[in-house]
Structure formats: structure tokens, C-alpha cells
Amino acid sequence: DTEVTQTPKHLVMGMTNKKSLKCEQHMGHRAMYWYKQKAKKPPELMFVYSYEKLSINESVPSRFSPECPNSSLLNLHLHALQPEDSALYLCASSQEGQLSYEQYFGPGTRLTVT
Amino acid sequence: SQQGEEDPQALSIQEGENATMNCSYKTSINNLQWYRQNSGRGLVHLILIRSNEREKHSGRLRVTLDTSKKSSSLLITASRAADTASYFCATWMDSSYKLIFGSGTRLLVRP
């Protein structure tokens, strides 16, 4: 199984809502990532988890809260988002916690904040 | 922050032609990777070339790396309509401990 799954595929939320994005992989990878991608732009790294511990936070606003419950799951909790947070949110993983290996991406969650 | 700049930003070719995309970067790298992204979807890893390698092939893909010029190129031979996508280079630097993506090239292959 070389797949990274993400749910939901699409999410529309108001600025006062609380929602969560979920990501799952069963490749035994020990590094997992959240990226944000705006239209026609490259992905921008948000968070990195290595061996279930947060290792990189790219100065992301606290309205985004990551969580790694176990080695297969990664969540991104959303609260009080702004319209400019509307984007494609991508999850990725790489093997053995070696962050220089190739990354496997999920299909993304298209988030719209109204 | 963006490490890589890609050129051209957009490329339109006829099916069967070759497509060449270039990537330039600013600082020393551990490896350089190329990814493909179909419209609005996740990225797919294509090829990884390490800093001590000069050329790598995978099927119809050929990647070169010139560390003296801090540049890489991706050649897709005998292109197909299904190759239509955005292509990103991404560099890994041990100093930053993360993968940084270039600006991307949007490739359109006309049938």
C-alpha cells in the first residue's frame, strides 16, 4: 500500500467553525507533513512530524493545530480561520523519519473559508 | 521561502515532442527532486537526484544536475497528452532540514 489518504476531499467552513482534516498512511513511514498550496503556487510547508513528535513548525498561526495520534495518522485542527486560509491542504509522508527521502502525497483537502 | 525558480513558467507543446524544464536554486543541496501535480490534486514523486550525481533516467524522464551552476533540468521525451500537469523541482538542504519547492512549470501537451 503506497497510498496516503486524506479526508474530507472538500470542506467549506465559516470563520467561527471548528473542523479537522485527517491524513492516514500505512507505509510504515515515520515522517509526516502538512503543506498549504494556493492556486498556481508551489506547496508551502506548515508542519513536520518525525516519529510522532512535532519537529518543524513554520511559524504557522495558532488557528492551525496539528496532531499526530500515532505513526499512521496526522490531523490538522482548524479553528477561527480567515478567508485567506482557503487553499488546498496536502499531507505527505516519507520513510524511516529520514526527511531527505522522497515524499508521498495525498490528494489533498480543498478548503474554502466563508 | 522559495529556493528554486523554474523556467519556463508555462510550456505548450504538441504530443510527441520533447519537453524541457529548468530549475535553478540558490544554496548547496543534499538532493533535488522532481514532482508532478495534475490539476488540483496531490503531488507525485518522479525522480530524486543526489548532489553527487549528474544524470538520472526513469522511463521517458531524464534529469540532469549541475551543482556548479546550481541548476537542474527535466526532459520528458515523446510527450503524451497525459503528461499535461504542473512540474515542480524541490531541493533538500541539510541546513534547513526541509524540502523546498520551486515555482513550478505548467506543461500543456496538445493532442
DSSP B41: S
Query: How confident is the model at residue B109, as a pLDDT?
Result: 98
Which residues, 6+ apart, have CB-to-CB distance to B73 below 8 Å? B20, B21, B22, B23, B63, B64
**How far A89 CA sits from the closest chain B CA (Å)?**
9
A65-81 residue pLDDT tens: 999 999 999 999 999 99
**Spatial CA neighbour of B103 closest among B14, B21, B13, B19:** B21
Pairing label, strands B105-110, B10-14:
parallel
Residue B87 burial (CB < 10 Å; 0-12/13-18/19+)? buried
Please name the member of B92, B98, B101 whose beta carbon is closest to the beta carbon of A42.
B101
Query: How confident is the model at residue B98, as a pLDDT?
Result: 81
More confident residue, A16 or A24: A24
Query: How confident is the model at residue B95, as a pLDDT?
Result: 67
Query: How confident is the model at residue A99, as a pLDDT?
Result: 59
Residue B100 has which C-alpha cell?
523546498
Using a CB-CB cut-off of 8 Å, the residues of chain B touching A100 are 30-31, 92, 94, 99
Using a CB-CB cut-off of 8 Å, the residues of chain B touching A31 are none
B81-93 residue pLDDT tens: 999 999 999 998 7
The distance from CA B100 to its chain's CA centroid, rounded to whole angstroms, is: 12
Query: How confident is the model at residue B40, as a pLDDT?
Result: 79
Please name the member of B41, B99, B106 whose beta carbon is closest to the beta carbon of A108.
B41
Mean pLDDT of B79-108: 90
What average pLDDT does the structure give for chain B? 92
Mean pLDDT of A25-33: 92
B44-54 residue pLDDT tens: 999 999 999 99
Share of chain B above pLDDT 90, in %: 77
